[in-house]
A and B are shown apart, each in its own frame.
Chain A
Amino acid sequence: MADTLAETTHWGNLKTEVAGYVGIDTLQEQIRKKVLKRGFEFNIMVVGRSGLGKSTLINTLFKANVSLRSCSKSEEKVEIPKTTHVKSVSHVIEEKGVRLRLTVTDTPGFGDQINNDNCWLPVLDYINEQYENYLSEEQSVTRKKHIPDTRIHCCLYFISPTGHSLSPLDIEFMRRLDRCVNIVPVIAKADTLTIEERVGFKQRIKQDLANNGIRTYPMKELEEDPEETVTNNKIRELLPFAVVGSNQQYPNNGRTVYGRKTQWGLVEVENRSHCEFSDLRDMLIRTHMQDLVEVTRSVHYENFRQDRLASRRGRTQFNGQVIDMDSMNESSL
C-alpha cells in the first residue's frame, strides 16, 4: 500500500485500495446538506425585441410567474421605453427541499427603437456592474461569509423568427457580449416556422455565428472530458433552440399540457416533435445550471477581474495598451 503513491491523473485514474470502509463517500451527503441549507442562486437575463415571448418563456421555464411583466404593478399595457432599460426581479422557488433564488433580468426597450445604435450598452454596463460589485465585495477587508452573487449566469438571446438569417442587431449584440456572459440563443415563437423552414433557418444562423466568431454557450474550449463533449455536441447540434412558451394548459388526450391552442391545432410546449422547449429546459435547469454558474465564475468573472486589477495597478500596460477606468465599460476583451 505504501508504494502505490504514484501519479494520479485528474480524478481517480489510479485507484488506491482501501482496507475497510473509511467513509469518504459520505462527503457527498455532507456537501448536499450544506448546499441545501445554503440554497442556490441563479441569475438569468432575457434579451430581445418586444413581442417575442420572453416573459412567457421564462414563466414557462420555471412554471411560475417570475417574469418582470407578470410582476409589474400596472395593469395596463406597458409602453415601450425610449432606451434600453435593465430591470431585475428576484424570486425564491422551492422544489423537493431545494431552494433556488432566481433572479430574472429583463431588458425592455432593447431593439425596439427606430435607431438602435448602442442599445446593447446598458446591458453591457449592467453585466459589468455586477462583476464590479462582486469584485469589490471580494476585495474588502472584512468579507462576508457568503457573497451574494448577482452576476448574470446566463443570457437568453431571442432571435426573431424571420426564417432568413440573423439580423444585424443580433450579430452586433452577440459579438460584443459573448466575452462577458454565457449567451444562449433561442428562436422565439417557433410555432411560426414549419419544420423545413426551421431547419434551414438554424443552418443559416449557425453559419452567421461561425462567420462572426461568436461563441455561444456551451463553449468547446472548456470541455474537460469526452462525456461532456458528447452531451455538449448534442446541444450544439440543436442550437439555437426553437422554443414556444405558454403557461396555459389545455386538455389533450386525457392529459393536460401546456400549449397554445389555435384554430388548426394545439401546439404542445413540452412535445419534442413540436418544439425544443424541453431541450432548452433540460439544458438550462436539469443538467447545465451548475455549469453555467461555474463558467461565469471561473471564466467570465476571472477575465473581468484580470482586466480590472491589471488596470488598477497604476495604469500599467496590459496587452500592450493602457486601459483606463472609463474605458472598462466597453467589452472586457
Chain B
Amino acid sequence: MEDYIGFANLPNQVYRKAVKRGFDFTILVVGESGLGKSTLINSLFFTDIYSNEYPGPSQRIKKTVQVETSKVILRENGVNLTLTIVDTPGFGDAVDNSVCWQPVLNYVESKYEDYLHAESRVHRTTIVDTRVHCCLYFISPGHGLKPLDLEFMKKLHDKVNLIPLVAKADTMTPEECNQFKKTVLNEITQSKIRIYEFPDCDDEEENKHQKRIKERIPFAVVGSNVIVEANGKRVRGRKYPWGVVEVENMEHCDFVALRNIMIRTHLQDLKDVTNNIHYENYRCLKLGAVGKSGTTANKNPLAHMEEERKDHENKMKRMEREMEQVFDMKVKEKLNKLRESESELNRRSEQMRKTLDQQKRELYQKWKEFEKERTTFEVTNQDMDDTHRRLTLTLDMSPKEYFDGKDKKKEKKKGLF
C-alpha cells in the first residue's frame, strides 16, 4: 500500500485552472513626454502595443493630462495574459503642473471603487480585476529628483505599487548613472516614499541571483524595438555613430533586470500586494469614513442593505396604513349608506303600516257600517221575508229571482268597497 495520498498534485490543479482562466495585469506608466515610455512598453512585451497605426500618446498632442488605456492579449506557451496599459499623456508637460497627478490618482481610486462595488454585489461570480497592479514612474535623468517627481510619488506610493525607473539611461555614463541612482534612492528614503520592494524568494540560489538584481534599483532602462547590427550580431538596440546600445545587455542598462523581475518572477506578487495591501487600505479608508460620519454615504454595502431593508419596511408600513385608511373610509361609507337605506326602509314601512292601519280602520268602520246595515237589512229582510212568504204561498216565484234581488242589493253594497 502506498503512502502517497495525492494532494501534492494540488499546485498542478491550481496551475491548470489558472492557465485556463488566463491572467490579467494592469500597468500604469507615468512620466513626462519624451522619456521613452511607449518604447519601453513595446520592448517589455516584445510587441507593438503602440505602432504606426495606433501611435503612442506622445505622438498625439494633448492639452491636459489624460488617462488612456490600451488592452492587449498576449499568448505564450498556452498561457494567456490580458495586459492593460494605462498611459498618462500630458503629465508634467504644461507650464503649470500643480495638479497633473490628480487624474491619475482619480483613475487608480476609481478602479478600487469598481472592485469594491463588484465585491459587494449579491451576484459576484464574475469579478473583473481592473485595478492597477503596478505603476512605472519614469524619472528624467539629471541631477536628482525634481519637485514634480517627489510630489507625484508622495501622492501615489500608498495607493499603488510604485516602481521608479530612470529613463533614457543611455544618456549617462556608468559613474553618472550610479551617482544618480544613489541620489534618487536617498531622496526617496528622505521623503519617506515607499516604493515597491521585491520580496525574497524561498530558494537560496534564486535569492542570491535576485539580490544582485535588486541592487540595481531604481532600474535604469533603455527601450528599443528596432533590431540593429552590433559586433556581427543582430540585437535590439539603438544605433549611434559612436556605438550601439544593446537593450538586452545587462552591462548597458537594466532593462533585462526589470523585465525579469517584473514579469518572470514577481508578476503574481505585484497582484497580491495590490490586492492585499493597497486595496485593503483603500477599503478600510472608505468604509471607515462612512462609519465615522454616520451619514448615508452609500459606500458601505452592509449599511446600504440595512437601509434598503428599512426603507422597504417603511414603505410597506406606509402602504398598509394607507390601505387601512382607505378601507375604513369605504366601510364607513357603506355603513352610512346602509343606515340610510335602513332608515328609509323603516320610514317606508312605517308609512305603509300607517296606511295599512288607516285602511284597517276604514275597513273596520265600513264593516261596522255594513254590519249595521246588515242588521237593519236583516230586520227589514225579516219583514220582507214574512211578506214574501205570504206572497210566495200565493205566487209561484222562483227563489232564484227573489235571491237575485237580494244579491243585487248585496252586490250593490259590495260595490261600496
Residues on A lying within 8 angstroms of B by beta carbon are 49-52, 77, 80, 112-117, 160-164, 167-169, 172, 189, 191-192, 194-195, 260-268, 271, 273-274
Tell yes or no: B245 within 8 A of A by CB. yes
Residues on B lying within 8 angstroms of A by beta carbon are 32-35, 58-59, 93-98, 140-144, 146-148, 151, 168, 170-174, 183, 238-246, 249, 251-252
Interface residue SS majority, chain A: loop
Min C-beta distance of A312 to chain B, whole Å: 33
Nearest B residue to A197, CB-CB: B238
Complex formed: what's the CA distance from A164 to B171 in Å? Answer: 17
Given A52-B142, A263-B252, list of 20 further CB < 8 A pairs?
A49-B142, A51-B140, A51-B142, A77-B143, A80-B146, A162-B34, A164-B58, A164-B59, A167-B93, A168-B94, A192-B170, A194-B238, A194-B240, A195-B240, A263-B174, A264-B243, A264-B245, A264-B246, A264-B252, A265-B243
Contacts of B249 in A (CB 8 A): 263
Contacts of B174 in A (CB 8 A): 262-263
Nearest A residue to B230, CB-CB: A264
The answer to whether B240 touches A191 (Cβ under 8 A) is yes
Min C-beta distance of B192 to chain A, whole Å: 18
| Known contacts A261-B173, A264-B243, A265-B243; A77 and B95 CB within 8 A of each other | no
The answer to whether B240 touches A265 (Cβ under 8 A) is yes
Nearest A residue to B238, CB-CB: A194
Nearest A residue to B244, CB-CB: A264
Contacts of B171 in A (CB 8 A): 161, 189, 191-192
The answer to whether A169 touches B95 (Cβ under 8 A) is yes
Complex formed: what's the CA distance from A194 to B148 in Å? Answer: 28
Nearest B residue to A173, CB-CB: B95
The answer to whether A114 touches B147 (Cβ under 8 A) is yes
Contacts of A264 in B (CB 8 A): 170, 240, 242-246, 252
Complex formed: what's the CA distance from A160 to B140 in Å? Answer: 10
Contacts of B58 in A (CB 8 A): 164
Which of A112, A117, A164 meets B34, CB within 8 Å? A164
Contacts of B93 in A (CB 8 A): 167-168
The answer to whether B241 touches A274 (Cβ under 8 A) is yes
A-B contact pairs, 19 of them (CB 8 A): A50-B142, A77-B143, A80-B146, A112-B147, A116-B95, A164-B34, A164-B59, A168-B93, A189-B171, A194-B239, A195-B240, A262-B173, A262-B245, A263-B174, A263-B249, A267-B240, A267-B242, A268-B242, A271-B242
Which of A113, A192, A265, A274 meets B147, CB within 8 Å? A113
The answer to whether B34 touches A160 (Cβ under 8 A) is yes
The answer to whether A115 touches B143 (Cβ under 8 A) is no
Complex formed: what's the CA distance from A261 to B173 in Å? Answer: 6
Q: How many A-B residue pairs have CB under 8 A?
A: 102
Complex formed: what's the CA distance from A297 to B237 in Å? Answer: 49
Which of A49, A77, A195, A263 is most buried by chain B, counting CB atoms within 10 A of its CB? A263
Complex formed: what's the CA distance from A189 to B168 in Å? Answer: 11
Nearest A residue to B151, CB-CB: A114
Min C-beta distance of B156 to chain A, whole Å: 15
The answer to whether B95 touches A114 (Cβ under 8 A) is no
Contacts of A195 in B (CB 8 A): 240-241
Contacts of B240 in A (CB 8 A): 191, 194-195, 264-265, 267, 274
Complex formed: what's the CA distance from A194 to B171 in Å? Answer: 11
Nearest A residue to B176, CB-CB: A260
The answer to whether B245 touches A117 (Cβ under 8 A) is no
The answer to whether B170 touches A191 (Cβ under 8 A) is yes
Complex formed: what's the CA distance from A162 to B168 in Å? Answer: 10
Nearest A residue to B252, CB-CB: A263
The answer to whether A115 touches B98 (Cβ under 8 A) is yes
Contacts of A192 in B (CB 8 A): 168, 170-171
Contacts of A274 in B (CB 8 A): 240-242
Which of B59, B148, B171 is most buried by chain A, counting CB atoms within 10 A of its CB? B171
Contacts of A164 in B (CB 8 A): 33-34, 58-59
The answer to whether A172 touches B95 (Cβ under 8 A) is yes
Q: Which 10 A-B pairs have the closest CB atoms?
A: A51-B142, A162-B34, A265-B243, A265-B242, A264-B243, A115-B96, A192-B171, A51-B143, A115-B98, A116-B95
Min C-beta distance of B172 to chain A, whole Å: 8
Complex formed: what's the CA distance from A167 to B32 in Å? Answer: 10
Min C-beta distance of A92 to chain B, whole Å: 29
Which of A262, A273, A274 is most buried by chain B, counting CB atoms within 10 A of its CB? A262
Complex formed: what's the CA distance from A225 to B251 in Å? Answer: 54
Complex formed: what's the CA distance from A49 to B140 in Å? Answer: 11
Which of A163, A263, A265, A267 meets B251, CB within 8 Å? A263
Min C-beta distance of B336 to chain A, whole Å: 80
Complex formed: what's the CA distance from A268 to B168 in Å? Answer: 19
Min C-beta distance of B167 to chain A, whole Å: 10
Nearest A residue to B59, CB-CB: A164
Complex formed: what's the CA distance from A274 to B59 in Å? Answer: 26
Min C-beta distance of A135 to chain B, whole Å: 31
Complex formed: what's the CA distance from A160 to B35 in Å? Answer: 10
Min C-beta distance of B217 to chain A, whole Å: 19
The answer to whether B96 touches A116 (Cβ under 8 A) is yes
Complex formed: what's the CA distance from A114 to B92 in Å? Answer: 8
Complex formed: what's the CA distance from A168 to B142 in Å? Answer: 20
Complex formed: what's the CA distance from A52 to B168 in Å? Answer: 13
Nearest A residue to B142, CB-CB: A51
The answer to whether A50 touches B170 (Cβ under 8 A) is no
| Known contacts A265-B240, A267-B242; A116 and B147 CB within 8 A of each other | no
Nearest B residue to A78, CB-CB: B143
Contacts of A113 in B (CB 8 A): 147
